[in-house]
A and B are shown apart, each in its own frame.
Chain A
């Protein structure tokens, strides 16, 4: 302890801190692990998740503030990892198989976010606007445009964004149906198309973005690094 802080320790020691908690940022990764992801893509996805965890955990603030959950969808929807602090997050090793129940996965991710915010409120924890980060290489096989599940899932995304409940990002991995994904993603945030082989760069961007949010403070929009620059990991379809 420095001499300076020793001289003030009497008053400092007498103060009781009201809410000794960090504010938290809840992030859900909604990951397509359907059969088409087999091989190199699922390997890169698994490596990317581990890399993301390690990079976020290397930042002092983000390590204490980011809470992570994983919803996987391949054949069925599964909460592969319920919310945990990034320090306690155990990256699942995902296997690819089955169809693409994206509609149910979106609803599950939104439900997880809502429950997490309720937990924060009950604990008196400050929190940032949560993120849902959807990665898919296909098109939904559990819903078609206009059917009941489609209406519920798309409405959950669009209204959730409009009501500022969360931030929803969609990433299309080749050969994803970008046209369908554009209808699912929020109008104000169209889907990004992952450039081939750039999983790790995408997860690095996500990690840096989470670190920026963790350090952001009141009143701010958090400026994110543009992922679509010449060296970026993504493209945005302008058509």
Chain B
């Protein structure tokens, strides 16, 4: 990954974290506006709010892992064991969000769309992690080729 791309991606992670923080603070107001706009019941509004707040935990966790991952890439250590663990955590964060949105979908069906996206993201991250694990093994073997 080129240095410029790494820096840009790192900046994007920071921006996402700031947006997440901002929406976490403004979530009750945003939920109220959304519920009024879509004419949703207070119960659905509460479910959306709960689902959002529960999802922020794995979201921040995933952003932290991505930050650490990019830091290792900036240090030119992409095939570190730590990176495999971090990618694993990101995938589990996706599954956690999928689980929460599965529950929320029973109250507000469009949440299942988010669940689908999260499941797909989980799969992509796991496959990429598998590729990195293979690459790490090849690199370790090359390091032990005299």
A and B associate in one complex: no
